[in-house]
Structure formats: structure tokens, C-alpha cells
Amino acid sequence: MAPLQQSDAGIDVARVQRRTLGVLSGGVALAGLGVTVGITAGGLLARDVAGTDSASGLGQTAGVLGAAALAVPLARISATVGRRTGLAVGYAISVVGAVLTVLAAAASSLPLLLGGLFLFGAATACGLQSRYAAADLAAPERRARALSLVVWATTIGSVIGPNLARPGARLGEALGLPALGGVFALSAVVFAVVAVGFLVLLRPDPLLLARRLGGGGAGAPPRRATGAALRAVWATPAGRLGLTSVVVAHSVMVGVMVMTPVHMGHAGGTEDAVLRLVGLVISVHVAGMYLFSPLVGVLADKAGAPAVVALGSGLLLAAAAVAGTAAPADSVQLGVGLVLLGLGWSCGLIAGSALVTTSVGAELRPTAQGGTDLLMGLGAALAGVVGGPLLAWGGFGLVSAVSAALVLPLAWVWATSRVSARGSS
């Protein structure tokens, strides 16, 4: 355990936690602008560069896969030298990814585009790991609420972000770039500001302080620690439910969400009109993801995380049914479906993250959290990569139906975890 420093004597942990939540919330709110602009334009840019709808799924999948692959090394950095450095490094990587994406748009290079979007996914990984940083100093009975407050902060940037796709496209044209390339130029600037902000303002580091106060072990985790941490999570009924909930909720959300802009593009019209409608639909979807997250956190702390996981599963099924039956031009029905999708994701992510966090000891938490985000991202990447072919083969209805089927394993784990909980009581 890290030694307690003299400067930590008499420290007001509640005050530090409030400051930490403020810095994290401000950072992810701003970063949400860049992330959701990329979500809106990434699939369309990949389609334009490759000339086929099937490639649109590859663009979004590259970003999701990047978020998954980078989750573990970023968590390792955080576990070794603190959240402040881990988050700053992650956002710096996303700046490089955004710049490469702009260059790929100018060169019409699909391999370079996919590489840029892969690194761009670091911003998503950082946004997700910020929720865990919010829980480092939180009291156990308030962990879900602390997680949810940082998730909620993403609302600000994420709702506004998709609607910056059109101004970003005009910026790209003014710079002599393909229209969608300008969108990622905006993202690069935003991520750079967030990286510097965390380096300067996230002091004291919440994870390192928690360790010094007795909240966890210190030092770099062993190289194969992720597998051991995930096995420890899976060994408990609560951990199994939390891990499955996070993976399934994110996979279903990505599976439906990333194909929505391409589905809407089949309605016809100018690219400017398509971007405007897509921006509105993605905005309400992101509002569903983040806007009500504080209520979800309170509900998880009060009613229990398993109950919120069950609620989220029902919302995900309803979302797939509503969105999957909507015509490309029916932006209202698609908007309703994607609001439900966002709410289901919020319930599954917040409640599941709280279960994962409490299922292992403090010394394993950063590694277990990074491993959870790795599996979550890999599941979402798989959902995204098959989305393009499914859309081309059977339409958006098939995409939604296959995504909804992913809820079945979660329902089984929920039922078995409840049986185990009753048996041990």
C-alpha cells in the first residue's frame, strides 16, 4: 500500500471528491463534442471513401475497436501513475487519431482512415474510464451516483456535438478538405484542450490519493493481471451480472446506433439535409444515454443495481422494436427508438459498472475496470462490424433484431445471479 504522506493528514476527502467530480465532468462534457461529432460522421466518411454501405460499419467499428484495445493499456497507466496521466495520454492519442482521419479524408485512403479512427477511439475509452475515476474516492453507498454524475456530464457536449457536423463540414470545405474531414479537425482541437486540462486540474489524483488513504494497492499491475482480475469479477454473482450487463448494453447500443445514419441516408436528399436529420436523431439518442443518468445512479443505489439492469434490458428490447420498424425518412420514430436505446444503455452501464467495482477489492479495481471496458468494446466492435453486411443483406430491421437477441444471455445471467443471491441469504 502506498505510504500516507504528511500533506494528506487532515485532508477533506469530501471536498477533494467534489473537485474531482467537477474536473472530470467538465472534461468529459467538452470531450463529448468531439466524440459524438465523430460518431455522426465516421460511418458516412468511411462509406464515401470506400464507395459502399458495407464499409460504413468498418469505420465505426474501427473507433469502437480502438476504444476496446486501448482500454487496458490506459487502465494500466492509470494503475501505475494515476488517473490524471492515464486520461491525458488517452486524449493525446485521440488527437493523433483525429489528425490522421483528416489526412485520410484528403487522400481518400481507407486504411489510413481506419487507423485514424482506431486511435480516435481513445477518447471514448477515456470518457468511459472517467466514470471509474469518479468512484475512486466515493463512499460505497454512493458509488453508482458518482459514476452517474460523470456519465451525465457527457450530455452537454454529446447532445451539441452531432449538430456541429454541418459547421465542421463547411470548415473542411473552407480548408480545401473533403467536407467530412473538417469534422475531425474540430475534434482534434477539443481533445487537445481536454488533455491539457486534466494534466493541470486533476490534482490531487483521485486514485493515488485513495491508495494513500488506504483505498487500494499501489504499483504497476503484473502483465497478465487483466485476466486474473476478470476471473475475480466473474467468480461472484454480482460481478458476473455487472460484467455481462456492461458488455451487452454497450453492444446492443452500438449495433443499432452506428447503422442508424446509414439507414437514414437511404431516404435520399442532399448530404446537408441528411446530416441535419442524422444530427437531430443522434442528439436525442445521446440525451437518452446521458441526461437521466443521475436518476439511474440514485435508483441503482436505492433499489439495487440488479433491478436497474433488468429495467435496462427491457428498454433495449423496446428500442430495437421501435427503431427496427422505422422507415429511413421517419426521423420521429427513429428518434423515439434511439431515446429508448440510450436509456437502456444508461441503466445497463451505470448499474453494471457499480456491480463490477464492488465485486473485487480495491487493489484489483483499475485492472478489472480496464478489462471490463476491453470486453465491452470488443462486443461493440463485433456488433458494429457485422452491422454493415446485415444492413446490406436484410435492412435495418435485421440489424435491430440481431442486436436485440444479445439481451438473451444477459437475462440468463440475471436469473442465475438472483437464484445465487437468494441461496446465499
Mean pLDDT, rounded, for 76-85: 91
What is the reported pLDDT for 7? 54
pTM: 0.80
Question: From residue 17, how far is each of 79, 218, 296, 300 by CA, in Å?
Answer: 18, 20, 20, 20
In a domain, 3, yes or no: no
Q: In which band, very low, low, confident or very high, does the pLDDT at 36 lie, cut at 50, 70 and 90?
A: confident
Q: Answer yes or no: are the C-beta atoms of 329 and 281 closer than 8 Å.
A: no
Give 120's contacts (C-beta < 8 A, 6+ positions apart). 38, 42, 63, 66, 94, 97, 98, 101, 184, 187
Query: Distance between CA 372 and CA 376 in Å, rounded?
Result: 6
Please identify which residue in the block is written with the cell numbers 466515493.
138
The answer to the question of residue 425 being in a domain is no
User: How far is the C-alpha of 307 from the C-alpha of 301, rounded, in Å?
Assistant: 10
The string of pLDDT tens digits covering residues 84-96 is 999 999 999 999 9
CA–CA gap between residue 247 and residue 250 (Å, rounded): 5
Q: Please tell me the distance from the alpha carbon of residue 313 to that of residue 217, in angstroms, as a whole number.
A: 35
Give the pLDDT of residue 204.
92
End-to-end distance of the chain based on CA atoms, in angstroms?
33
Of residues 400 and 219, more confidently modeled: 400
CA distance 52 to 55: 6
Tell me the pLDDT tens digit for each residue of 172-207: 667 666 667 778 888 898 999 999 999 999 999 998
Smallest CA-to-CA distance from 70 within 117, 136, 23 is with 117
Cis link prior to 204 (omega < 30° from 0)? yes
Which pLDDT belongs to residue 210? 87
The total number of structural domains in the chain stands at 1
118: which 3 cell numbers? 482506431
Indicate whether 32 belongs to any domain. Answer: yes
* pLDDT score of 393 more than 60: yes
- Residue 1's pLDDT is what? 43
pLDDT at 277 (0 to 100): 84
Q: Smallest Cα–Cα separation from 341: which of 310, 318, 307?
A: 318
d(CA 152, CA 159): 11
Helical segments of 304-406, H only: 305-324, 331-359, 365-394, 396-405
Which sign does the torsion angle of CA 96, 98, 101, 106 carry?
A: negative
Report residue 107's pLDDT band, with 50, 70 and 90 as the boundaries.
Answer: confident
3-state secondary structure string, 141-202?
HHHHHHHHHHHHHHHHHHHHHHHHHHHHHHHHHHCCCCCCHHHHHHHHHHHHHHHHHHHHHC
For the stretch 131-165, what's the b/e string if a residue is b when 16 or more beta carbons lie within 10 angstroms of its beta carbon? Answer: bbbbbbbbeeeebbbbbbbbbbbbbbbbbbbbbbb
Highest mean pLDDT among 227-231, 274-278, 378-382, 417-421: 227-231
- Would you say residue 359 lies in a domain? yes
pLDDT of residue 165: 62
Close Cβ partners of 128 (under 8 Å, ≥ 6 residues apart): 67, 71, 373, 376
Least confident of 47-61, 101-115, 290-304, 306-320: 47-61
CB half-sphere exposure, 35, CA atoms < 13 A: 29
Please check whether residue 1 lies inside any domain of the structure. Answer: no
Work out the pLDDT band at 225, boundaries 50, 70, 90: confident
Mean pLDDT of 264-268: 79
Return mean pLDDT, the chain.
86
For the chain, the farthest-separated pair of C-alpha atoms sits apart, in whole angstroms, at 66
- Predicted pLDDT of residue 138: 86
- Mean pLDDT in residue range 19-24: 94
Q: Which domain holds residue 373?
A: 9-217+225-420
Higher pLDDT, 339 or 57: 339
Average pLDDT for residues 149-169, to the nearest whole number? 72
Using CB atoms within 10 A of its CB, is residue 12 exposed (0-12), middle (13-18) or buried (19+)?
exposed
How big is the chain by its Cα radius of gyration, in Å? 20
At 172, which CATH number?
1.20.1250.20
C-alpha to C-alpha distance for 65 and 115, rounded to whole angstroms: 11
What's the confidence (pLDDT) of residue 4?
Answer: 47
Task: Tell me the C-alpha to C-alpha distance, in Å, between residue 221 and each of 51, 141, 215, 229, 386.
Answer: 44, 27, 16, 10, 34
Burial class (CB in 10 A: 0-12, 13-18, 19+), 11: middle
- 23/62: higher pLDDT: 23
More confident residue, 262 or 273: 262
pLDDT score for 56: 65
Looking at per-residue pLDDT, the higher value among 322 and 273 belongs to: 322
4 located within any domain: no
